[in-house]
Amino acid sequence: MTTTIALAGKGGVGKTTVAAMVIKYLAQSGRGAIFAIDADPSSNLNMVLGLDLEWTVGEIREGMLSKVKESITAGGAAMGGLPSGMSKREHLDYEIRCSLSEGIEFDLIAMGRGEGRGCYCAVNHNLREVIDAIGDQYSFVVVDNEAGMEHLSRRTTRDVQHLLIVSDPSQRGIVAAGRIAGFRNELDINIENAYLIVNRLPDGEIPPALQEAIDAIDVPLLGVIPETRDVTEFEFSGRPLVEMKDDSPVYQAVNALHASPQELRGCIEEPLTHADSRRHYRRVRRTPHLQRSAARSGRVDDRTVAGSDPVSDRDRLPR
């Protein structure tokens, strides 16, 4: 079963930093592969994860629509279709799998730019199905959402087990977190649990006035993350945050978040064996490797169809 963790909050509160620390924690738990989705149009989750980003889903979507428009203008038997003869769903599946940025313990896709003018209902439906199908092959899906919550159900149809609402230590941040928490019951997806995380808290202590504001909103406080120089120094140098040492106060704080409550702790208990983790990860990475190779060479053949087999030894994880 795939566990989905989504992060939300107003802009500038450090959602991406928290997402990076959550992914680092899950990777070290040994529970299985992680699929990270950068749903923020600014697309910088790859930087904190230390991954290259070649394409975004937004670029893939716009490129496909451009080809469809060209075929309509050209007319003929293929009018409204794609030059490759693929269906739109197959084309999206192929391109999105090729766009995966691959790490050792986690992979990433970035949603990128939002929609332009016109109706995107059909293409967005196909996108959700493709992305959810890819996510089903992973143990965890972590979604770094854009500001607010209203766009989350447009990115996925899957249920969210844990919604982490991130706020800075300000009254405005807590009020925004409360409003975001209120949206969770109005979405087309089911959110099982929601928690508040207060980020960048000086000295790690909640002032009484801020505690009153926290108590007044309809979401429990999961924990706090202190303000430290560690993150600032990494941001100045551009180093990926996942390289932060395990004894960093920020990482230790995120580690402590997973110790409670039981619902969040339970999803990462009983780690997989090393063999099981490697077997799972080989299965997940199999298709993207072949597809990327074909994309770079300009060839598309039967081996690059989703779910294809076999995979060469050089595409496997190192022993």
> What span, in angstroms and rounded, lies between the C-alpha atoms of 141 and 135?
6
Amino acid at position 122, single letter:
A
Q: Compute the distance between CA of residue 19 and CA of residue 11 in angstroms, rounded to an integer.
A: 14
- Token output for 38: 């950068």
Over residues 267-290, mean pLDDT? 44
The rounded distance, in Å, linking the Cα atoms of 6 and 191 is 9
For 212-240, how does the pLDDT look when each residue is reduced to its tens digit (9 = 90+)?
999 999 999 999 999 999 999 999 999 99
pLDDT of 273 over the 70 cut = no
Report residue 143: phi and psi, to 5°: -110, 115
Closest C-alpha among 248, 209, 243 to residue 225? 248
Q: How confident is the model at residue 262 (pLDDT cuts 50, 70, 90)?
A: low
Mean pLDDT of 260-265: 65
Q: pLDDT for 299-316, tens place per residue?
A: 344 333 334 333 333 332
Q: What local confidence, expressed as pLDDT, does residue 158 receive?
A: 72
% of the chain beyond a pLDDT of 70: 70
Q: Which of 87-96, 193-202, 204-213 has the lowest mean pLDDT?
A: 87-96
Question: How confident is the model at residue 291, as a pLDDT?
Answer: 41
What structural domains does the chain harbor? 3-274 (3.40.50.300)
Q: Which single residue is written with the structure tokens 């595409």?
A: 315
Q: What is the per-residue pLDDT for 72?
A: 66
- Return the closest-CA partner of residue 272 out of 162, 140, 136, 131: 140
Count of all residues that appear for the chain in the document = 319
Integer Cα distance of 262 and 182 in angstroms: 23
